[in-house]
Structure 1
Amino acid sequence: MSKYRIYEPGERQAALERRRLRKMARTAHGYVRGNTRQFYEWLGEMPKLHLPETPPIWICGDCHIENLGALAGSNGHVAVQIRDFDQSVVGHPGHDIIRLCLSLASAARSSDLCGTVTARMVEEVVRNYALALARGRRDEVPKAPDLVEATQRCAFDRSWKHLARDRLKHRTPSIDPGKKFWPLAPEERAAIVALFAQPAMRDLVLKLHHRGAEARIEVVDAAYWVKGCSSLELLRYAVIIGIWDGGAAPRYALFDIKEAEAPIAPAARPEAMPNDPAERVVAGARALSPILGERMGTGRIMDKPVFVRELLPQDLKIEVDQFASKSALAVAGYLAYVVGDSHGRLMSVEARDDWRRAVRQRGAAEIDAPDWLWHAVVAMSGRHEAAYLEHCCAHDLIYRH
């Protein structure tokens, strides 16, 4: 029996809302990660913020530190790329840079680093993002810092047993109810079984595991997955799929099903995106992180759009508990290069050169960064710090009494 309270389907909504609010109250950095909606609202309320003109491209839309990390392709190659596309839209690339810088500034603040380090991190973001846009020689790629290298090394050696132990807390192909996994309603399980019975989803599973059409797949186990922060109130499921091919022992795969909703990030060209929210998420992933996008598909669960992706053992987010000054600068520069490389691949040569000059243009402040970026980071850091304190007072203290 689980030591945690297990919530039935009818009890979920209130429990998830409490959990989301408490999770955002744990750290200032956590509040920034879970506060995408107000980020864009406050950004829109800055009358002096004028982003340089550039043709819109697919952007992450929620480009904070933990939405980048190690990802594995079907060929076994592991690379650090953007790994979350819930807010992906065809929009302004400057939004991704501001969001990344705000996330880095918040992480530095949570690590008790001085403001000078934050300023230097913004400079590293500008320098390395612009370097990626230059599309120069591969030997110019910045060296992965220790934190990122450790994530990649760990990713290379992982197997299904590691994935099952980390995600499911044991090595067997089953999901035990507990803090992270809650029971399904009968109609939810039926909808999940029906989803994987659809030809497109079945073909995706077999393609990812290099199996022929004669192979058989089956939903072995499934549960409601309590995961994320700002998206906690959306449907989310963990599903174990068994794959049988002839007389060989079955192979198992873990799939993540998540409800898609209309984006919060502002779209510059809505007509260039799929109307279906789940198809939009997958299109953004395929544009910005192809090795993840190729593992994704779309469907519906109880008439709600969902996107589906296989989780591989090598998929690891970059987790920042405490920054030191040197590692903070290295991580800032490296992640900025990753984002810049993803953006740059989607731009024409002319647009890329113009945008690079706009990013590298030094402003009036005593920092090697454009005014639009620095002023946005300063203003947004202040708004989030004040809102975080109000959030803790309004929610965390109430739940403690």
Structure 2
Amino acid sequence: MPKSSSQSKSEIKLPRFRDAALVERRNLKMARSIHAYVRGNTAKYYDWLKQAEISSIPQGPAIWICGDCHTGNLGPVANAKGQIDIEIRDLDQTVIGNPANDLIRLGLSLATAVRSSDLPGVITAKMIESLYAGYVHALERNGRLSQKLEHPLLIQTVMKKAVKRTWKCLAEERLSGLEPEITLGKKFWPLLKKEQSEIDLVFERPELQDLVTMIGKRDEDAKLRVLDSAYWVKGCSSLGLLRYIVLIDSMDGKVQRGKGLCLMDLKEATKALAPRYSDAPMPKDNALRIVEGARHLSPYLGERMRVSKFLDTSVFIRELLPQDLKLEIEGMGEQEAQNLAFYLAFVVGRAHVRQMDDVARNSWIKELKRNQSKTIDAPFWLWRSIVELISVHEAGYLNHCRLYALSHEK
């Protein structure tokens, strides 16, 4: 059973108090900044999309899109062999739909990060130009970044950090040390008995055995053993979904100083809010949809994911690797904002273009360039969409603070 520290006992929520505690935590987290509010409110983005005049937004080829393409959902991801690249790292909302939706959503996220960094409004305009240029660059070069272009400083820094990270780094963050147990507290809460029993059953399945042994040089014949598990309080938009962290022994009880341990992330799959193309064939099971989208958009991550059932709920499972990191980008300078917009748009464009043949790719480039603006080096539909979304989310954010942050202080 997980242990609890004396400092964190007040933060532990028993299963019957989970829902109320998660709602409160989500609301307070979203009140921290407009950037945090945008990251945690996918629904508001698609509410706007339904109500907006979208006739000018181009309709791209039917490909898998992220569906929730904000900056926090991009970052370093490792594959089973230990290679690392910047990829989309959260695919809960993935569908076969309009790739323009990813570009607009990323632009909104970057624009709010610019505002949170106290940069002048003209930088938002330049950022949108860079966003568009980076995306088109990926399409025109078929996913290959020009050698003349340097990675932004933030990307260089986070990649260096990812390369240096070891199991010890992950254990200190998630386990509070190398001991084979999970410490209950702010991040991890106790389980119901039926949840504990179901987790044991899930990791007896052959497909999960394969998922664990594919990483590194683990013994394919070793019997997996669940050492510990807990409810995982993580993220913002995902709060309220079933989420568990599971500590596994992959060496038949021969674990020494962390060697042979692995941490698994088990997460509920829910219906996507992102609009799909109605005639596009997709798996009906939400976990299968998420894993299939991940394999198309983020191959490093997709190969490390499996689907299962958990208490009659569809879930997807992956191993947590120390190299997997998310981007934290508030506090940017003016040039860094533009460089980052170009590069992240390139990453998204690369994920899109690998699904297109030359005919679809050239047609999409032509469609993107059709409505160029006379005052900004980006299509007017992209500029207008991001500006409208900033306005809508700014108002929503202030109302959110009024309702939740002020009442919490009282």
TM range (shorter): over 0.9
SS, match of residue 223 in structure 1? strand
The structure 1 residue matched to 2:289, chosen from 280, 305, 308, is 280
Query: In structure 2, what is the equivalent of residue 11 of structure 1?
Result: 17
The structure 2 residue matched to 1:67, chosen from 55, 65, 73, is 73
Structure 1 range deviating more: 247-256 or 13-22: 247-256
* 1:42-63 C-alpha deviation (Å, 9 max, x unpaired): 1111125432233210000000
Per the normalisation by structure 2, the TM-score is: 0.94
Q: Superposition pairs for residues 30-41 of structure 1, below 5 Å?
A: 30-41=36-47
Query: In structure 1, what is the equivalent of residue 56 of structure 2?
Result: 50
SS, match of residue 244 in structure 1? coil
| Cα distance, 1:137–1:399 mapped onto 2, change above 3 Å | closer
Q: Percent identity?
A: 46
SS, match of residue 250 in structure 2? strand
Pair 1:310-2:319 in alignment:
yes
| Cα distance, 1:90–1:388 mapped onto 2, change above 3 Å | same
Q: Superposition pairs for residues 228-267 of structure 1, below 5 Å?
A: 228-244=235-251, 249=256, 251-267=260-276
Separation in structure 2 between the aligned mates of residue 303 and residue 259 of structure 1, nearest angstrom: 11
**Alpha-carbon offset, residue 272 of structure 1:** 1.6
| Cα distance, 1:365–1:183 mapped onto 2, change above 3 Å | farther
Q: Which runs of 5+ in 1 are unaligned?
A: none
Query: In structure 2, what is the equivalent of residue 221 of structure 1?
Result: 228
Corresponding letter in the other structure for 1:2: Q
SS, match of residue 75 in structure 2? strand
The aligned length equals 401
SS, match of residue 377 in structure 2? coil
Q: Which runs of 5+ in 2 are unaligned?
A: 1-5
| Cα distance, 1:283–1:330 mapped onto 2, change above 3 Å | same
Q: Superposition pairs for residues 327-342 of structure 1, below 5 Å?
A: 327-342=336-351
| Cα distance, 1:209–1:241 mapped onto 2, change above 3 Å | farther
Separation in structure 1 between the aligned mates of residue 255 and residue 177 of structure 2, nearest angstrom: 23
Separation in structure 2 between the aligned mates of residue 247 and residue 24 of structure 1, nearest angstrom: 43
The structure 2 residue matched to 1:291, chosen from 300, 303, 309, is 300
Structure 1 range deviating more: 300-309 or 355-364: 355-364
Separation in structure 2 between the aligned mates of residue 13 and residue 320 of structure 1, nearest angstrom: 30
Separation in structure 2 between the aligned mates of residue 181 and residue 49 of structure 1, nearest angstrom: 46
Query: In structure 2, what is the equivalent of residue 182 of structure 1?
Result: 189
**Alpha-carbon offset, residue 169 of structure 1:** 2.8
- Preserved contact between residue 361 and residue 369 of structure 1 (Cα < 8 Å): no
- Preserved contact between residue 81 and residue 216 of structure 2 (Cα < 8 Å): no
* 1:180-230 C-alpha deviation (Å, 9 max, x unpaired): 000111111111111111111112212234444421111111110000101
Corresponding letter in the other structure for 2:312: D
* 1:247-289 C-alpha deviation (Å, 9 max, x unpaired): 6855011111111100000011465211111111111111100
**Alpha-carbon offset, residue 358 of structure 1:** 2.4
**Alpha-carbon offset, residue 13 of structure 1:** 0.3
**Alpha-carbon offset, residue 167 of structure 1:** 2.6
- Preserved contact between residue 121 and residue 328 of structure 1 (Cα < 8 Å): yes
**Alpha-carbon offset, residue 168 of structure 1:** 2.8
Pair 1:2-2:2 in alignment:
no
Corresponding letter in the other structure for 1:8: L
Per the normalisation by structure 1, the TM-score is: 0.96
Separation in structure 2 between the aligned mates of residue 148 and residue 84 of structure 1, nearest angstrom: 18
| Cα distance, 1:315–1:134 mapped onto 2, change above 3 Å | same
Corresponding letter in the other structure for 1:335: L
